[in-house]
Structure 1
Amino acid sequence: MTATDSSISIEQFPVRWPVPTRWDDNDHYGHVNNVTYYSYFDTAVNAWLMSATGTDIRNLPAIGVVAETSCRYLSELTFPEQLQVGIRVEKLGTKSIVYSLAIFHENAHGIWEAAATGRFVHVYVDAVTRTPVAIPAAIAAAAGSLV
């Protein structure tokens, strides 16, 4: 993985959530395994939601389930690295949120460079029945600040 996309900058993301690589993130080839990038996205979005709302989102009557994800890999990550996951809202609906994401790491010159870009769709469902419902007000307000 050596592709780069210089059009993506960390400044394009109003939220930058820190996520360190972990020892067990590396695969047999010596770099962070592709599936782990999705874990970084999931961790950043949900940790940010909890921080921004001041609420344990797991206890709300409606929960966000992942309906769609994608990831474009631009460069390798490895252990140990301190990452920043950029978060912005691409679309805020009444029952779903589409996040635009990017994982950044510092290059040899100390510049934050995109290692991956992604998309993450949360659809809100009733915690018990799993039927689609409106986004909880606290989450809608937090996400709305990123539109």
Structure 2
Amino acid sequence: MAAEALKARRRSDYNFSLEYRTRWSDNDMYHHLNNSVYYYLFDSVVNTYLIKHCSLHPPTSDQIGLVVHSHCDYFAPVEFPAVVDLALRVNKLGKSSVTYEIGVFERGQDDVKAVGEFIHVFVDRDNRRPAKTGMANDLKRGLQQLMADNPKL
């Protein structure tokens, strides 16, 4: 997707959000959140949603999600002590895979600071291969609720 379209994202474009209070150690030497922190945040919002809304229990679930792709477009810096809202939606839902989009919004500001993409492929825990039947039903139902064209949760 074009950077201009991503830069125009608003909180209302997403169906789930999670608050994160930045830490002093999140800043890098340039006094803004280090790029690696964004990936930590993406992983956190995705897995929070999967655990709370998709019946995923990582230590014991038969299927696990493997990240096969991720990237981030940065539009403006965030720095400690900001509070950010991590906004989540699903742009594509396949038989075994899901493409998430995460918008990072600083509390009190309307403009998106960064937009990331994160792709999971759900595989059998033991053989690391997608199940012939695809992802588990609870997982798929929960992810369908995040589809970009669904009303906000």
The verdict on a shared fold, with TM-score over 0.5 as the criterion, is: yes
1:38-75 Cα shifts (integer Å, max 9, x gaps): 11111001011111135423321110010000100011
Normalising by structure 1, report the TM-score: 0.89
- The 1:58/1:137 distance shift into structure 2, 3 A limit, reads farther
In the other structure, the counterpart of 1:125 is 123
Contact 2:67/2:121 (<8 A) preserved: yes
Gaps of 5+ in 2: 148-153
Q: Which residue of structure 1 lines up, in the alignment, with residue 47 of structure 2?
A: 46
- Match of residue 16 from structure 1: 17
Give the distance between the partners of 2:70 and 2:112, measured in 1 at CA.
Answer: 18
- Structure-2 separation of matches of 1:111 and 1:33: 20
Q: Note the C-alpha offset of 1:125.
A: 1.0
The reply on whether 1:85 has 2:83 as its aligned counterpart is no
Preserved CA contact (<8 Å) 2:8 2:111 = no
> After the TM superposition, which residues 1-147 of structure 1 pair with which residues of structure 2 at under 5 Å, given as runs?
7-106=8-107, 110-133=108-131, 134-147=134-147
**What is the TM-score of this pair, normalised by structure 2?**
0.85
Q: Any idea what SS the aligned residue of 2:138 has? A: helix
Any gaps of 5 or more consecutive residues in structure 1? Answer: none
- 1:67-122 CA-partner distances (Å, limit 9, x unpaired): 0001000111111111111111101111000111111103xxx3332110011100
Aligned-partner Cα distance in 2 for 1:69–1:6:
18
